[in-house]
Amino acid sequence: MNDKATYRIIKKVDLPHTKIELRDDDVIQFFYGDYVHYNTKIAQEVEDVVIQMIEDKTYVSLRIAGKQSSIALKLMDYLSRGRGCLLTLADAFVIQSFIHRVLAKIYLKFSKPYVPTRFFENVTDAETWLKSLDKNMLKSNHKLNITRVN
């Protein structure tokens, strides 16, 4: 996404509502569709694709929200503390709208994600944060999450 990209896209899947790209720098990026309400059915479709793409490896996630996209509150909990959190080591969300900021506060306050999670207004800051994270700590945290969820 960055104009001075130092990575290559190694796998890519375009769903009607989400574009998913696996990068060679251990980032999986999601481009969420505009005007989509993400529910359990859509999340399951995305999750199935991600499981096939990552082949039992874990990645940090760069998640770029679409215009006026939204998420079911029940789904927030699943993604932050349920099986959904096992597919990522950390989540950086790029959001721009007031509604997304409100959802972000709700997500952090009530869902209390197991993986390190932050919200940003631009991709560059999100990527910088993801690259600053200690990979060994993230992998250790991931093992703990497997125990929590199972």
Establish if 125 belongs to a structural domain.
yes
Establish if 108 belongs to a structural domain.
yes
Establish if 30 belongs to a structural domain.
yes
| Confidence at residue 71, expressed as pLDDT on a 0 to 100 scale | 85
| Cα pseudo-dihedral 85, 32, 137, 5, rounded to 10 | 160
Establish if 4 belongs to a structural domain.
no
pLDDT tens track, the chain, 150 positions: 555 678 999 999 999 999 999 999 999 999 999 999 999 999 999 999 999 999 888 899 999 999 998 888 788 888 888 777 788 999 999 998 888 888 888 888 888 889 999 999 999 999 999 999 998 899 898 888 888 887
Between the two ends of the chain, the Cα-to-Cα distance in Å is 35
Establish if 3 belongs to a structural domain.
no
What CATH code is carried by the domain that includes residue 43?
3.30.750.24
Please tell me the number of Cα atoms within 13 Å of 126 on its side-chain side. 26
List the domain range (segments joined by +) for residue 94.
9-149
| Confidence at residue 147, expressed as pLDDT on a 0 to 100 scale | 84
Domain total for the chain? Answer: 1
Q: Collect all residues with Cβ–Cβ distance below 8 Å to 53 and sequence separation of at least 6.
A: 11, 13, 20, 22, 28
| Confidence at residue 89, expressed as pLDDT on a 0 to 100 scale | 94
Q: Collect all residues with Cβ–Cβ distance below 8 Å to 63 and sequence separation of at least 6.
A: 29, 30, 32, 91, 92, 93, 94
Spatial contact of 25 and 56, defined as CB atoms under 8 Å apart = no
| Confidence at residue 4, expressed as pLDDT on a 0 to 100 scale | 64
